[in-house]
Each structure stands twice: as C-alpha cells, then as structure tokens.
A and B are shown apart, each in its own frame.
Chain A
Amino acid sequence: MKALIKLHVKENARGRSFVLFGILGGLVSLVLLTGGLVIVDNNPTEKIISQFGTQWKFLSILSGLAAVAVSMGTIERHRKEKRTELLALHGLGLDRQLFSLAIGNAIVSIMLSAILALVLVFIVIFGQAPTSLLGFAAAFASYLLTAGIVALIVSVLNMFLPGVVAAVLGVFLVMIGSFHQIIQGMFLNNSQPAGRILGKAMNLLPPLDVFNRLTRCLFFLEFNGGRDLTVFLIFIWLTMTAVYLAGKGVSRREKI
C-alpha cells in the first residue's frame, strides 16, 4: 500500500500545474496584501486582519479547485491500466489500491496547496503577521487538511463516475462549500418546506467556509471553542470512512 501511495505521489507531484499554482497563489497573496481588500463600511476589523483573512479565504477556494484538478480522473485511469490486476495478483486487492490512490491524491493536493500558500508563508515569516508560530502551524495544517478532504471526496466520486463528471461535481462542491453557510441561510430564510429541506440537506455537504473560519481563528489566535473543530474532525472521519467503504464496494462489485 505504502509503495503504491509513494508511486502515485511521485507520478503526480510534478509538472506544470505545480508551477502554475505556485505563481497563482503568489499573485493572490501579493495583490491582496498590497491593497486588495473586500471593503465593508464601518467594519471595525483591523485592516491587516481583514487582509490576511481575505487571503486565507481566497487561498482556500483556490486550493479546493487545485485538489479537484489533481484528483479528477486518477482512479478512472488506474482502473483502465493493466497494473490493477498485476497488483491484485501480488496481493494488493482493488479496495486497498483505491484507498492508496485516494490517499495519494490527498497528499498531492496538500503539497499543491502548500505551494499555493508559499508566498503567504514568506510574508508571515518575514513580515508582520498577527499570529504566532503555533497559531500559524495549526492554521496551515487545517488549511492543508481541507484540500485533502476535497481530494478524497473527488476520489470517491471518481470511483463511480467518469473523471469529467467527478471534476464538475468537485468544482460544484468547492464553490457551494466555500459559501456553504450563506447558501444554507438563503434556503432557511425561505420559509417554504422545500427551502427547509434543502437547508437541512446541505448539512451533508462539507462546509469549507467553516473549515476556513477555523483556519483564520487559529491564525489570528482567537480559537475559542471546539464546535468548528469538531465539525472539521467529523468531516475528516466521514470522508476517510467513505473512501474505505467506496473502495470495498467497488472491489466487491468487480470481484477483484
């Protein structure tokens, strides 16, 4: 299993997409730090906090999209290759292969997200950021894990659906998830039964904006409760369980 993960990471953790996302992340960080700001009148938040907060928000959306780009089609491609059967013959069942690939996708996405935030890391190290080493490390870990969750979900989708469909659903998931609470609020605001049902159903989608708020709270050292963290950990648990069960299901169906 470990060998397959390593191989998958080696095969995918290179290429132009890394350079592209590195440049993109750098540009976002620089633009937002040199004056780009979402302006709200009478917002009492300090300017520097608004700037860093907006950066984390943008980087989170970009890293989610990067995770989709990295993960789409990888499982589908693997299943079309002969090495699936070869690996099975050598004792690595399809379920464990799929699990390994999903974990590999998560690792590559995490690496890509780290590159995306590289300029931000330099700014934090050499500039004056309102955080501490511990706060930044915890925030960075939650930011990376969020990208990992997206990669795992797209991997699960790709076990059952073609790569393109999984990618479209992945982008949908990132966009809805990044504004999850606002969209859910809109549904709940509509006092019709359909709105209430849709509002409740949205609890099943990963609230990437809540994860991002957790990241910002950790970064700004204002972590004051475990609810966001608990929701975050539950989604990690659910996603890992879904990857495991989906792999088992596919393997049983194909009897490999």
Chain B
Amino acid sequence: MKKYKQILWLLIGAALIASLFIRQPRFIDAHTIDLIDQARRLDFEDCWPGYQPDMYPVEVYKRNLLGRDSIVRYDKNGLYEIKDKTPVYALSMDVDPDGQAVVRMITARDYQSLSDMGNYDGPSADLSYQAVFAHEAFHCFQFDRGFYDLFKQRTSACQKSSVAATSRKLDHDPEYQKLWVDEMHRLIDYAKEGNAKNHQAYLHSYQMRLDYLYSSLEAEDADEYLSYSALYEKSEGTAQYIENIALSRLSGKKLEFSITGYGADASKFYDSGFLKSYILDQKKGLDWKTDFFTTDKTFEDYLLEADRL
C-alpha cells in the first residue's frame, strides 16, 4: 500500500512538471504578442508627427526552462527565435549591425512581476506594458532622427568630465533637492493652467535653481551639469511623454501631473521632460519638434520665451 502511495506521489509530481513544459509556448505567449500588436497599432501622429511604433522590430527575452535563454524576434517576417545573440533582460532599445533600431522587451508576465508591489492588477499591468513599449519604440524613433549620434557624442564627453561627481553631489544636497522639487511644482501648475502667472512663477523658480547652481559650483561644472540634464530630459522626457499619453489613451483616464519627490541620478529627468513636453505641446503654432533631436536646442530654449499659451 505504501509503495502505491509513493508511486502515486511521484506520478503527481511528474504530471505537474510535465504540464509546465507542455504549456511553455514555442516562442512567446499569445498574450504578450497580442499586447505588442495592440501597442504597435497606437497612433501618435497628432502628438509626434512621423512616429509610428510599428516601424520597429521587437526582440522579446525568452526564458527557457532547461536550456539557455534566447531572443524571439518579431518583425515583418513573423516570429522567429535567435540563438546566436546574447539575450538581455531589459526594456530598452538596441541597434542591429545593419543600423536597424530594435525594441527590446520582456514578456507581459515578466513585466507584471517586475512592477509588482501589489498595487497593480493584471489589466493595469498590461496597459502599462503597452505604454512602456511605446516609450522604447520612441527611443528607436529618436535614433532614426539622428539623436543618438548627438547623444553618444555628449555622453562620451560627459564620461571624461566631472559631471557624474557633480550629479552625485547635487543628489545629496538638500537645498538643491528643495529647489528642484519647487521647480517641478511650478511646472505642474503651469501644465495644469498655462497662464502668464504660472509661467512667471516657473521662470522665477528656474532662475532660483540656476543661481544656486552657479553659486555652489564652478561655472564650468554648472554648465556641464545643465547640458547633461538637458540631454537626458530630451531623451527620456519626450519618451515619457509618449508613454504617459499611451497610458492615458489606453486606460481612458486623463493625464496626471504629480511628483513624489526628488529622483536621484537621471530618473528625475523623465518627469521633468514629460512636463516640459506637455507644456510645449499646448503652445499653439509652436514648432519645437522638427529639429529637436538633431540640434542642441533644449526645452528651456522654448520655455523661457515669453508666454504664448
């Protein structure tokens, strides 16, 4: 009798493990493909002319239970597995040797796991996944517009300079953090209500931060830091703008403007760039997008002008 129980127990285990293998999709799960398909069909022509998420191939990180993990590529040829390339578990963009920009994704299930502090439900995590797809595909669009030549040039210059040390120093400076957060609140007010009063309040707040930077740092370091922050705001802030718009459209909810505090390193530039992109987009007749990625122009070049809202 005991022997039969043991055999039954082993059979249960074997059946469970076998079901895990049987249910593993050949490439990627249908739900992930479905979400990517929906995200690729999103139309951003009204908020960034020329940007279409379906222009770029997608490479999804595939976890294999026993073998090495691999990449599943999804492009005009359909779905196929690439085994001779090192997979990277990330949400980002990559460039093929032939110069084609590619969106790097993980599966929707993996994405839900990464964003999981208990505060997302399944459908919301799916919406967020699609919005992040739009964000990463926008980085591919930036690449196509020539921004990455500029980005590489500037970041290699930053690596040789002391900007990393300056950034760390400011991240630990409570006074600078206070000034930054205050400027963000002024930007939020300006985004919510684009009147001259809020514009002036933003200008004042920006000037206060600028004064502090030049009074507490060497002029050269302050210039370098401002150039570094403008670069990340341009790169990540515009992509965050696209992501937030995608999320708003997919969820049917209004865009939210809020800030939870001072973000260390480059994380704060996502929010500041998003707010600035939104504000500039409200300015009727202002063409700020055509050469934004090919020139040294910053958000401030437009925001500091007289209010035209």
Contacts and interface: CB of A to CB of B under 8 A. Distances in A.
* A is bound by B: yes
Interface of A: 37-46, 49-50, 53-58, 181-182, 185, 188-189, 191, 196, 199, 209-210, 212-213, 216-217, 220, 222, 224, 226-227, 230-231, 233-234, 237-238, 241
Contacts of B122: 217, 220, 222, 224
Given A42-B256, A50-B120, A182-B116, 6 more contacts: A37-B119, A42-B247, A182-B113, A188-B61, A227-B109, A231-B20
B124 interface: yes
A213 B123 CA distance: 13
Chain A interface, DSSP helix/strand/loop, else mixed: helix
B121 A222 contact: yes
B119 A50 contact: yes
Contacts of A234: 13, 16-17, 20
B306 to A, nearest CB: 30
Interface of B: 9, 12-13, 16-17, 19-20, 23, 61, 68-69, 86-90, 106, 109-110, 112-114, 116-124, 127-128, 244, 247-248, 250-251, 253, 255-256, 258, 260, 271
A44 B23 contact: no
A190 to B, nearest CB: 9
A152 B163 CA distance: 52
Nearest to A244: B9
B256 A45 contact: no
Nearest to B117: A38
Nearest to A187: B89
Contacts of A213: 112-113, 116
18 contacts: A38-B117, A38-B118, A40-B119, A44-B128, A45-B119, A49-B121, A53-B120, A54-B119, A185-B106, A185-B113, A191-B87, A196-B69, A213-B112, A226-B23, A227-B23, A231-B20, A237-B9, A237-B16
A46 to B, nearest CB: 8
Nearest to A57: B118
Contacts of B68: 196
Nearest to A200: B69
Contacts of A50: 118-121
**Interface centre among A45, A220, A224, by most B CB within 10 Å?**
A45
A42 B116 contact: no
A43 B12 CA distance: 40
Contacts of A46: 121
A42 B69 contact: no
B16 A189 contact: no
A181 B113 contact: yes
B103 to A, nearest CB: 16
B120 A45 contact: yes
A58 B118 contact: yes
**Interface centre among B106, B109, B119, B247, by most A CB within 10 Å?**
B119
**Interface centre among B17, B121, B247, by most A CB within 10 Å?**
B121
Given A41-B260, A188-B89, A53 B119 contact: yes
